[in-house]
Amino acid sequence: MYKVSYPTTSYFRATGRVLLLVWVMGAGSAFGSEKGQGALNQALEAFTTRQQMADPLPEMDAGLAVEVQDLLVMNLAPDYGGVAGYLFSAAADQEMVVSVLLENMFTSSGATLDTAKGSEQIVQLGWMLRVRPEGIETVDAASPWYEYFSELIPAVIVRDSLLTQEQQGDWSAMTMVNAGVRYLVLGMPWVIAKGQGAVILTAPLEAMLMDNRGKTLAKGSSLSVDREALSVIKELRTKLSARGRSLRASDLVLLGPMGSGAQFGAVGRLTAEFSTPLGDRRIVFASRSPDSG
């Protein structure tokens, strides 16, 4: 069973207490600059209203961009809950962008998800891993990377396209808006017993996204896209450590979405099919305009 909760779409509404927290956190921020506070306000407004930005975010060095992201996540916590895991994606220069996944971003197969008027939504396929309950640090350092995980979970990622066109692949801008991650739709997991990881996680993992007419919109067959899984895990742990974070017991990790994805909203109902050596899974979900009630 999942540790994360399965909310209704009401969890994804902005509330007044979020804006109050912006100023409380901003006043005590390490950067405390007008530029940093402006970037935070811009990122938070875009995320909560789901509107694509009219103007680009200011240029930020890596440390300040991460701090803006951390403050964004803190502001979202009253409605979205605590940290449940992390998602890796790549900027235009292939630098790793780490998105923080919050509890109420997750839902399950059969969900109906609100679209947004002010931005496009992109749907991507992915494979999620759950860190073993005893945690990574207890695993023998000589053990292969797949011994870190206890479950393989089929997943669909839905992102809001919040950045201006010129910043779509910019590492700093992607980081500040948490890469626009809005929803993660999970299927039923496969349990990875100790000793089974090599059989399951090094085999081809097929996934396909189809519209309601059966047309293929996206597909993939890799756990970590075009990078070796161990290198992604090592880099992720290094980046989290630099932020004072770590992969905790039962955290969820997605090592990279597969393919370019498809636009969400106009297609209505979507089906994602996943295949592993242990069998098949299916995720079905649909879009709904916020105006539909």
Q: What is the pLDDT of residues 238-282, one digit of tens each?
A: 999 999 898 999 999 998 888 778 888 666 789 999 999 889 999
**Which of 182, 186, 184 shows the shortest CA–CA distance to 76?**
182
Residues in Cβ contact with 3 at an 8 Å cutoff, skipping those fewer than 6 apart: 84, 250, 252
Look at residue 209 and tell me whether its pLDDT is greater than 80.
yes
Q: What percentage of the chain has pLDDT greater than the value 70? A: 84
Residues in Cβ contact with 196 at an 8 Å cutoff, skipping those fewer than 6 apart: none
Given CA atoms 70, 76, 81, 85 in this order, what sign does their dihedral have?
A: negative
How far apart are alpha carbons 124 and 220 in whole angstroms? 10
pLDDT band at residue 26 under the 50/70/90 scheme: very low
182 falls within a domain = yes
Contact at 8 Å (CB) between 123 and 161? no
2 falls within a domain = no
Contact at 8 Å (CB) between 59 and 172? yes
3 falls within a domain = no
For the ranges 29-38, 46-55, 193-202, the lowest mean pLDDT is seen at 29-38
Greater model confidence, 16 or 223: 223
Q: What average pLDDT does the structure give for the chain?
A: 84
What is the pTM (predicted TM-score) of this model?
Answer: 0.86
- Convert 249-287 to b/e letters by CB count within 10 Å (16 or more is b): ebbbbbbbbbbebbebbebeebbbbbbbeeeebebbbeb
Q: What percentage of the chain has pLDDT greater than the value 90? A: 57
* Beta strand 206-210 pairing with 269-276: antiparallel
Question: What pLDDT score does 187 carry?
Answer: 97
Question: What pLDDT score does 176 carry?
Answer: 97
pLDDT band at residue 6 under the 50/70/90 scheme: very low
Give the pLDDT confidence of 138-167 residue by residue, as tens digits. 666 667 888 889 999 999 999 999 999 999
Tokens of 205: 């993992």
Tokens of 21: 């927290």
283 falls within a domain = yes
How far apart are alpha carbons 26 and 239 in whole angstroms? 23
Question: What pLDDT score does 290 carry?
Answer: 72
Q: Which residue range is the domain that position 110 belongs to?
A: 9-292
CATH number at residue 180: 3.90.850.10
Question: What pLDDT score does 76 carry?
Answer: 96
How many Å from the N-terminal Cα to the C-terminal Cα in the chain?
A: 31
118 falls within a domain = yes
144 falls within a domain = yes
170 falls within a domain = yes
Look at residue 74 and tell me whether its pLDDT is greater than 70.
yes
Q: DSSP 3-state helix, strand, coil percentages of the chain (rounded to 5)?
A: 30, 30, 35
**Which of 100, 123, 139 shows the shortest CA–CA distance to 253?**
100
279 falls within a domain = yes
Contact at 8 Å (CB) between 115 and 264? yes
Quick one: CA torsion of 277, 156, 185, 263, rounded to 10 degrees?
Answer: -150
Question: What pLDDT score does 225 carry?
Answer: 52
How far apart are alpha carbons 277 and 293 in whole angstroms? 42
Number of separate domains in the chain: 1
Question: What pLDDT score does 292 carry?
Answer: 65
pLDDT band at residue 30 under the 50/70/90 scheme: very low
Over residues 97-102, the mean pLDDT reads: 97
Look at residue 201 and tell me whether its pLDDT is greater than 90.
no
Give the pLDDT confidence of 112-129 residue by residue, as tens digits. 998 888 899 999 999 999
Provide the 8-state DSSP code for 286: E
Look at residue 179 and tell me whether its pLDDT is greater than 70.
yes
